[in-house]
Every structure is written in C-alpha cells, then in structure tokens.
A and B are shown apart, each in its own frame.
Chain A
C-alpha cells in the first residue's frame, strides 16, 4: 500500500485533447440561447410597452454608476482570465494560480456588487413586467456567474494538485470560454437594460 502511494506505477494514459473544450462550447452555446431568449422577450415586451405609452422603469430608479462599476469589474475579470489562459499555455503555474484566483475573486465581487445594485434599485419584483424581467435576467446572470466561480474554484483545486500544466490547459481554456460568455452577457445587460433602460 505504501509503495503504491509513493511510486506512480504507470504513467497516466494520454487523453484526446479538446474533448472538454468541445463540450464546453456546446454548453456555452446553450447558455447563450437561454439569455438570448430572456433578452428577446425583454425587448419585445419593452417595445410593446413603449408603443402603448406605458411606463417601463420608473424615472431615476436605475442609477448608472453601480452598473458601470460592475462592468469595470467584469472587464478586469476578462483580462485576468486571459492572463490565466496565457499562463497555462506557457505552463507558468504561479501566474496561473494568481490569475485564476483573482478572476474568481472578481467574480465574487461582481455577485456582491449585483446584490448591492438590486438593493439600490429597490423596486419590488412585481412592480410591473419590466421589474420582473429585470430580476429574472439579472438573477439568472448571477447564477451563471456563481457557476463560473465554482468552476474556477474546482479548476484551482485541480491546479493545486498539479494539473494546470500545458497538457491540461483544456481545463483553463474551457472555464475561460464560459467566463467570457458571462462577461458578454453582462455587457448586454449593462448596455441594453442599465443604460438604455
């Protein structure tokens, strides 16, 4: 038993590359369609409401600054994720840890900021169709961010076990693809809901 733990008897067999990556691309595409549906419904209902002269969000309910600050957080997180990707490509373990850890931290910060923002907006969910859609879209995005952060945590766990090397960079690239989708979805929320209202 002890001998078994001290010597790896056989080298781990090679795995076909890009399998995880391909799976992630399919899953991310599905996530994109989920948000596309919510945005499409949002634009449709908003268009009808405005055409009928109905109120969408109450005047002044959504301030711009928290949304912009949140966008900055996500933009920074996109850069740190690119850093993590680059580090894994170059088998730079220390930078990989730092970059992934920072990205996860920024993700948690983004969730925190979103909660603050929703408290700041302070509209009841059943105020009108606009607020219902707002909470559903922002809430779903928070869940997506949470899943990405959890995933990053798991990749970090494996990285600490020695598997964020170039041979296993599929792990980091996969989580980065999903993370970029998280950032992209937020960009749409920021532009078309928080700014354009």
Chain B
C-alpha cells in the first residue's frame, strides 16, 4: 500500500524532476542533455537543473524511506517491537545544560573563525567535549527506567573527568580573555584594569561568602554575567589587536592582528 508520506514525497520527486527537465530544455538545453543528467549534451541553466535534480533525488529517498517504514505509523512500530501498543517516540528528558553549552561552543567556533583563532579552537574543544558529555547522558538514560539510578551511574563515571577538565578549561579561558584585555590596554591602563578586576573578584567573593543565605540563582547570575563579560571583553579586544610594544633599543613591535582581518 502506498502511504500518505510516500505520496507526498514521491509527488515532490515527480514535480522536481519534471521541473528540472522542463527548465533544462527551456533554458537552452539540447535534445539529450536534460534527460541524461547533462552527461550527453547541455542543460542550459546549470544551477536550477542541479538543484532541482538533487531535490528530486532527496525527495525520492524520503519517499522510499517513508513507504519502507510505513510512514513511521504507531501500528508499524508496535508490530516491529512485537508489542500491543507502540511506545512513545520520545519521552520528556527534563532539563539539560548541554544544548545551551553546545550552542555557545558553536557560537564561539563561528565567531572565532572571524575574530581570533584561539576563540575558534576553544569553541571546537568545547563542542567536542560537550558532544561526549551529551552522549554519556543519552547512554545513561537507557540504562534503566529509574532516572535517579541512571543519573547516579552517569555522575560516577563522568565526574572524575568533568571537574578537573572543566576547572582547567575555565581557568584557561579566563586567562586567555583577561590577557587579551591587558595586552590591548595601554601600559598604565593594564595596571588599572588588573587592579579593578582583582578588586571586583575579591570583593564579590567576600560579599558572597558573608551572605551564605544568598539564593543560588543570584550567585549563578552574577557568575554568569561576570564570565560572559570577561569573554566578550576578550573577544572584542582580540579583534581590536594588541597595543604597540616599545622594545628596549627603540624598536617598535606592532603585532599583525592590528590589521584587523583576523589572520
């Protein structure tokens, strides 16, 4: 039996194929080009022909998958599992940090391509690390039907790796970002920035430690805002470039990054 999904995607396949051939002929193709995938002859507009042909191929693939899986109907799934009812395709998974961290990693990678190679490398490392964490979370969820048991297993396995790695990564990112700010500031400005940052960090820590009843959310928010501020400052100053360094003997060192093209 031809399923609804098959009809939809097969219809798209036929329409795209027809449009590709029609477009191939009407845009200057010869007799054989449009019906031979341009192997024998020409097709006129290559862009429209290539895109429509590939769209047709993808739609055909979807149609075949769809009919093979009976549209993914619940009845087909139950039959495959040999159960009376199909289980849900997806159970709610609860809150997760990995999506937002992974997105930040992707963002760092993308922005790093433009701004600074170090940001790019940090982004790539973050994405790879989060991919492993994410996988382990998925893995642990399949261990049993008890969420607490699964979470416990996962933590037992991953905590000894996570804490040192995250600590080192966090320190590394902060050092890199703050050093970019200091290198971009004037000689006296760097001293001022370092002093202010030091006082703010120390003062903030003192304030938090003196108020142990402070809600966890506020502490998180302060840390998040501070962390993001340092990262953004690091990215912006990395893009701006370092200040000129006057070496002993009168030579001036002006780093390449001042050109601003990021290479």
In the complex, A touching B, CB below 8 Å? yes
Interface residues, chain A, with chain B CB atoms under 8 Å away:
1, 4-5, 8-19, 21-22, 25-26, 29, 32-33, 36-37, 39-41, 43-44, 47, 150, 154, 157-158, 161, 163, 168
Q: Which of A13, A16, A19 touches B145 (beta carbons < 8 Å)? A: A13
Q: For residues 99 through 145 of chain B, which have their beta carbon under 8 Å from a beta carbon of chain A? A: 128, 131-132, 135-136, 138-139, 141-145
Whole-angstrom distance between the Cβ of B13 and the nearest chain A Cβ:
12
Tell whether, in the assembled complex, residue A25 and residue B65 are in contact, meaning their CB atoms are under 8 Å apart. Answer: yes
19 new A-B contacts at CB < 8 Å, known A16-B89, A32-B54, A158-B139? A5-B149, A13-B87, A13-B91, A14-B83, A16-B81, A16-B90, A17-B77, A17-B80, A22-B69, A25-B61, A26-B62, A29-B58, A29-B61, A36-B50, A36-B51, A157-B136, A157-B139, A158-B135, A158-B138
Q: Which of A8, A40, A161 touches B139 (beta carbons < 8 Å)? A: A161
Q: For residues 72 through 103 of chain B, which have their beta carbon under 8 Å from a beta carbon of chain A? A: 72, 74, 77, 80-81, 83, 86-91
Q: For residues 143 through 188 of chain B, which have their beta carbon under 8 Å from a beta carbon of chain A? A: 143-146, 148-149, 152-153, 156
Q: How many A-B residue pairs have CB under 8 A?
A: 112
* C-alpha gap A17/B148 in the complex (Å): 25
Q: Which of B80, B88, B128, B149 touches A9 (beta carbons < 8 Å)? A: B149
B236 at the interface (CB under 8 A from A): no
Chain A residues whose C-beta falls within 8 Å of the C-beta of B190 in the assembled complex: none
Chain B residues whose C-beta falls within 8 Å of the C-beta of A41 in the assembled complex: 47
Complex A-B, nearest 3 residue pairs according to Cβ-Cβ distance, in ascending order: A40-B50, A36-B54, A10-B145
Contact A12-B145, Cβ < 8 Å, known A40-B46, A158-B139: yes
Which residue of the partner chain B has the closest CB to A7? B149
Chain A residues whose C-beta falls within 8 Å of the C-beta of B67 in the assembled complex: none
Chain B residues whose C-beta falls within 8 Å of the C-beta of A43 in the assembled complex: 38, 46, 50
> How many residues in B have their beta carbons less than 8 Å from beta carbons of A?
47
Q: Which of A9, A25, A163 touches B146 (beta carbons < 8 Å)? A: A9
Question: Does more than half of chain A's interface fall in helix, strand or loop, or is it mixed?
Answer: helix
B233 at the interface (CB under 8 A from A): no
Q: Which of A5, A17, A44 touches B46 (beta carbons < 8 Å)? A: A44
B25 at the interface (CB under 8 A from A): no
Which residue of the partner chain B has the closest CB to A51? B42
Chain A residues whose C-beta falls within 8 Å of the C-beta of B145 in the assembled complex: 9-13
* C-alpha gap A9/B145 in the complex (Å): 7
* C-alpha gap A165/B61 in the complex (Å): 26
* C-alpha gap A59/B115 in the complex (Å): 36
B49 at the interface (CB under 8 A from A): yes
Q: Mark B35-68, 1 if CB is under 8 A from A, else 0.
A: 0001000100111011101110110011001000
